[in-house]
Amino acid sequence: MVEHAVDVRREIVINADADVVWDVVADAERQAEWFPGMVSSLVIDGTRTIVTAVGGMLIEEILTVDHQARCFEYSITGPVHLDHHRGRITVMEAPGGARVVYEQELEPKALVYVLDAAIGDALDGLRDLVMDGRISRSFAAPDAVPGGRPTEEGA
């Protein structure tokens, strides 16, 4: 098995109980609530379909939901073609609350900088959702969402 290095890594400490944070992360259908630029996330039979704000899609296979280790892993399988992708979100107890580490491995590397910046925003979004109940912004493409475009503050 080929070992892949982590290409992108961001972390945040959220002033909340680790189990509370983990409950949000582990619910794969809630990702669009805290990941800016995602309009919806739907899980069917272990496959998550994300509609992004530009009207595109990400198809992801959910690999791991480990409640014991508080570790969530997934892989982008389409329609963008990546030779390898693995995303990993780990929630740990830490001084000051919960430490959330978001890592990605990918090949080829074209998306490295895009994902690095995006998961930084996403962790901020996760904090805002957990702490204040604020749903992340979504700038949905009109074609992507029946009924029109959600407001900047959420659908």
Positions in the binding site for other proteins (CB under 8 A) = 7, 35-38, 52-56, 79-83, 108-114, 116-118, 121, 139, 141-143, 149
Nearer to other proteins, 9 or 67 (CB): 9
Nearer to other proteins, 35 or 102 (CB): 35
Give the residue among 19, 9, 31 at the shortest CA–CA distance from 129.
Answer: 31
H/E element, 90: strand 84-94
Nearer to other proteins, 67 or 84 (CB): 84
CA dist 65 and 135 (Å) reads 23
Instruction: State yes or no: cis peptide before 146, omega within 30 of 0.
Output: no
Least Å distance, CB 127 to other proteins, is: 17
Least Å distance, CB 17 to other proteins, is: 28
Least Å distance, CB 109 to other proteins, is: 4
Least Å distance, CB 110 to other proteins, is: 4
Nearer to other proteins, 46 or 108 (CB): 108
Q: At what angle do helices 112-132 and 18-26 cross, to 10 degrees?
A: 120
Q: Helix, strand, or coil here: 32?
A: helix
